[in-house]
Amino acid sequence: MSGFVDLLADADRGTTATYRPQGIGTQIALRVVLAEPAEDEDAVLVAAIATLPTIAAGDTFDVGGEVLTVLSVEQDASGTAWRLVCAR
């Protein structure tokens, strides 16, 4: 997992975001990576499972003043990161 942690900490790749469960819950500041979306996706974030153990569709992230709403959640093969497909 240290490689993923290093990626999140890298100022050129990772960025700080504010997470809110269902868009109204308590805010949590964390690091995410903005990933390249597939052709049919709007926005994709990658977040560490250790930092955010539960997440669901409808949760939101504020990234640089833009609110992204989670549409779907997938765990990576190593079990260390979430791949979050979001709507702008």
Contact between residue 34 and residue 63 where contact means Cβ atoms under 8 Å apart: yes
CB atoms within 10 A of CB 14: 21
Query: What is the predicted pLDDT for the residue at 1?
Result: 41
H-type alpha helices, 21-60: none
H-type alpha helices, 2-68: 2-9
Task: Give the C-alpha separation, 45 to 6, whole Å.
Answer: 16
Query: What is the predicted pLDDT for the residue at 38?
Result: 93
Fold of 2-87: Thrombin, subunit H (2.40.10)
pLDDT digits (tens, 9 = 90+) for 5-30: 556 556 667 899 999 999 998 999 99
Q: Provide mean pLDDT across the span 26-37.
A: 93
pLDDT digits (tens, 9 = 90+) for 41-66: 999 999 999 999 999 999 999 999 99
